[in-house]
Amino acid sequence: MSTRRNFVKTSAKIAAGVTAASVIPGAVSCANQANNKLVIGAIGINGMGFSDLRAFLGQENVECAAVCDVDQNVLAKRVPQIEELQGFAPETYGDYRELLDRKDIDAVIIGTPDHWHARIMIDAVQAGKHVYVEKPMANSIYEAYQMEKAAKKYKRVVQLGQWQRSDPHWNDVFDYVQSGVLGNIRTVKVWCYESWLRPPGPKPDAAVPTGVDYDMWLGPAPKRDFNPNRFHFNFRWYWDYAGGLMTDWGVHLLDMALAGMQADMPNSAMSAGGKMAFMESPIDTPDTQQVIYEFDGFNVIWDHAMGVGNGDWRRDHGLSFIGNNGTLVVDRGGWEVVPEGSKDSPKVEPVARIKGTGEGLKLNVENFIQGIKNKDRNTKANPTIGRSVACMAHIGNIALKVGNKVYWDHDNKQFKNNAAANKLMTPDYRDPWKLPKV
């Protein structure tokens, strides 16, 4: 069995196609060289963006100079909390472009809804900033590829919020799977059964809350009247802004399947699902969905059900790597191995549950900061890794939308002989916002 360090190094090189170009040439790592301080800004600080920011401020020699949010109520809540964490209040903005204009900021956190990730990330690297962007990388396949290209073109360190890549027990799982002990692995099951994730009930359109720049919140998304069900946390259940549970939890968990199997894009996908449990809910995305992805030599099966807590192995989320000799079961809490064969003659030694550390987010932020300091863009959750799993999730959703099996053309980066599926790869941006092209 390879060591965790060697496995991470090898798989990261395979995923990123590392060459000497992955090292940032010349330019300084931090704007404030005198005390080696990393100065950051944060764009979108209501939910996960604020969790990310707290993780950054828990690191040495990091300070937050500015924050941006289109909701003044969020700024009013977060600024005192940030001041308590670092001893002074950051400057505030309602337009992210003004924050990016600041020359004293080295890196930015992007914690906005998904439909904003591509535009802001590409603007940020063009402005010379390093970027920590929440998952999924993008709200479309086209955007994900453009973001990957932008990170390479502008030679900035970009880290995805796929923090499980930095969590030690997941890397131990990858080592074990790669060791061959489980035998031939033909199937990887991935599931998310979260009982607390229940979609909202119907609500009428309403006046835009005081302090909210709703037109800026919509940005490139279609113009719509304000509805509280589509705002803040619940944005993820509407196609205009996100891809449902598939791109929310799915990106985290499917990423672990790709890492364990050292895979990139699937050859094909077929999906079934829809609104099957919460019929009264106005959400667009499915509350129930299954996808079968075909790779060379194995399948990955995705399964989700909103409002239900009993998934495979009585866990509300996780993966099972199913081999001829045994099955490895893993979730955020830890992992174990259940052997094939009899109790007296197992085909592989059982492994009792090994608990995780729960420090994935902290370590992912630390890995990003080290990448900046070392001028090394090959981080553990780099843009190639982010692009791969974001596209995988979108392929599953596109298969559901078109209603038939879709086949991926790896060479041409599009679907084979499927005009309807190819049309869904690229979003239509609302004026005056333009679709990013690198």
How confident is the model over 101-122, as pLDDT tens digits? 999 999 999 999 999 999 999 9
Three-state SS for 181? coil
- Helix or strand holding residue 329 (H, E): strand 326-331
pLDDT for the residue 32:
54
Hey, what amino acid is at 273? G
Residue ranges of the chain with pLDDT lower than 50? 1-21, 23, 25-29, 31
The per-residue pLDDT for 436 is 86
**Which numeric CATH code is attached to 168-357+389-423?**
3.30.360.10
* Count of beta carbons in the 10 Å neighbourhood of residue 290: 17
- What is the radius of gyration, based on Cα positions, of the chain? 21
Q: Where are the alpha helices (DSSP H) in 262-382?
A: 360-373
CB count within 10 Å of CB 274 equals 12
Task: With H, G, I as helix, E, B as strand and everything else as coil, classify residue 33.
Answer: coil
Tell me the C-alpha distance between 30 and 23, whole Å.
15
3-state secondary structure (DSSP) of residue 237: helix
Q: How many Å apart are CA 337 and CA 137, to the nearest integer? A: 32
How far is 82 from 123, CA to CA, in rounded Å?
A: 25
- Compute how many other C-beta atoms are within 10 angstroms of the C-beta atom of residue 212: 20
Please, which residues have CB within 8 angstroms of residue 270's CB and are 6 or more apart in sequence? 291, 292, 399, 404, 405, 406
Quick one: 376 exposed, middle or buried, by C-beta within 10 A (0-12, 13-18, 19+)? Answer: middle
Q: Burial, 196: exposed, middle or buried (Cβ in 10 Å; 0-12, 13-18, 19+)?
A: exposed
Amino acid 235: pLDDT: 97
* CA atoms of 213 and 223, how far apart (whole Å): 13
Q: Are 64 and 58 in contact (CB under 8 A)?
A: no
Task: Write the CB contacts of 2 (distance below 8 Å, at least 6 apart in sequence).
Answer: 10, 175, 178, 179
pLDDT of the residue at 109:
98
Q: What is the pLDDT of residue 36?
A: 84
Cross-strand partners of 38: 62
In the chain, count H helices and then E strands.
Answer: 12, 16
Under CATH, which architecture does the 16-165+362-380 domain have?
A: 3-Layer(aba) Sandwich (3.40)
* Domain parsing of the chain, residue ranges: 16-165+362-380, 168-357+389-423
pLDDT of residue 30: 54
